[in-house]
Structure 1
Amino acid sequence: MEEVAPQGSPATEEDLTILAEQLGRTPRGVWAIGARDSQGYPLVAVTWPRLPDGTPFPTLFYLTHPDVVRACSVLEAEHMMEELAERFPSNHEAHKDYLRRRSLLEEVEEISDFSAGGLPTRVKCLHAMVAHSLAVGPGINPVGDAALEMIGERGLWNR
């Protein structure tokens, strides 16, 4: 099996300041920036699987940029999760990819089989699915890829 990395570039102090502005709070457990917009601003934070206080944190890829967060929220408010769940009833490859990438940072027994966003059999959170797609690129998480396509087609956000 090919080894994969979590993706991203190390988070700088400037990145952490921008993340705090984007989130409206101090970011926790940031390992790297998984994706950036065309101007270099963070879109996705890559977080440690265990926060500094010891709490397990399964969300490896955390969507941070307010514009894409808002776009995902619009789709969620319109119940697009149900449509995407029908189109993609199983997302096991994305689930396995997520787990592999997170385990390269740290193995956390409490969350070893839990990924994010409802993977592998549900679509619970488009924010998590889109963050995964933005961080690792197209072709890994079809739900995130499809949500990004919808976002673009509807003009809700352009990278």
Structure 2
Amino acid sequence: MIEAGDTAAVAAQLGREPRGVRAVASRCPCGRPAVIETAPRLPDGTPFPTLFYLTCPKAASAIGTLEGSGIMRDMQARLAEDPSLRTEYAAAHEDYLRRRDEAAHEDGVEPLPAGTQSAGGMPERVKCLHALIAHELAVPGANPFGREALEALPEWWRNGPCVQPGDVPTDPEEDA
């Protein structure tokens, strides 16, 4: 669901107008959007494979720091060694694809072709914690590496919202 002010808040977070927004998939404890659900195809029909898009710049910064720590190398090694983890990560990939296809059907557009990437390197690589955490925030319990990385993050929202009220233009007619 998109509430009044959400599109403007996301635009302020991203520094540009968001494209293909379907819903706010997860909110920060401050109430601002943290993850948006995007359409599988942009209005002009261009494929957009990223279903869950992290928008909170404070979260993105914290995740970037975590990525720089080498955690993804460790995750990738564990993925190669642990069959049950591989199975769980493959299930996360299938969940992502299923939800993206459902969104396409709900929007009345053609689903993306079979074999189109999901997100974050799934199901064989750990490539982007931003995407994996976005999936986990949007669908709690769905992504094992997203969950693990999310638990390793500091409370990025502690010092207030990433976008201050004055940064978000208000449009009384905005409904998404």
**TM-score interval, smaller chain:** 0.7 to 0.9
Q: Deviations over 1:69-108 (max 9, x none)?
A: 1111111222321111223342100000001111111142
What is the count of residue pairs matched by the alignment? 146
1:85 corresponds to which of 64, 76, 93: 76
Distance 1:98 1:33 in 2: 16
- Unmatched runs of 5 consecutive residues or more in structure 2: 81-85, 105-109, 159-176
1:148 aligns with 150
Q: CA RMSD in A?
A: 1.7
- Unmatched runs of 5 consecutive residues or more in structure 1: 1-9
Distance 1:64 1:56 in 2: 19
Contact residue 40 and residue 50 of structure 2 kept, 8 A: yes
* Counterparts in 2 of 1:40 and 1:32: CA distance versus 1, 3 Å: same
Aligned pairs for 1:65-104 (under 5 A) are 65-89=56-80, 90=86, 91-104=89-102
Contact residue 117 and residue 128 of structure 1 kept, 8 A: yes
TM-score w.r.t. the length of structure 2 is 0.77
Report the secondary structure of 2:37's partner residue: strand
Aligned pairs for 1:128-143 (under 5 A) are 128-137=131-140, 139-143=141-145
Aligned pairs for 1:10-159 (under 5 A) are 10-89=1-80, 90=86, 91-106=89-104, 107-110=110-113, 113-137=116-140, 139-151=141-153, 155=154, 157=156
Q: Which has the larger radius of gyration?
A: 2
Letter paired with 1:128: A
Q: Identity percentage over the alignment?
A: 50
Deviation at 1:145? Answer: 0.3
TM-score w.r.t. the length of structure 1 is 0.85
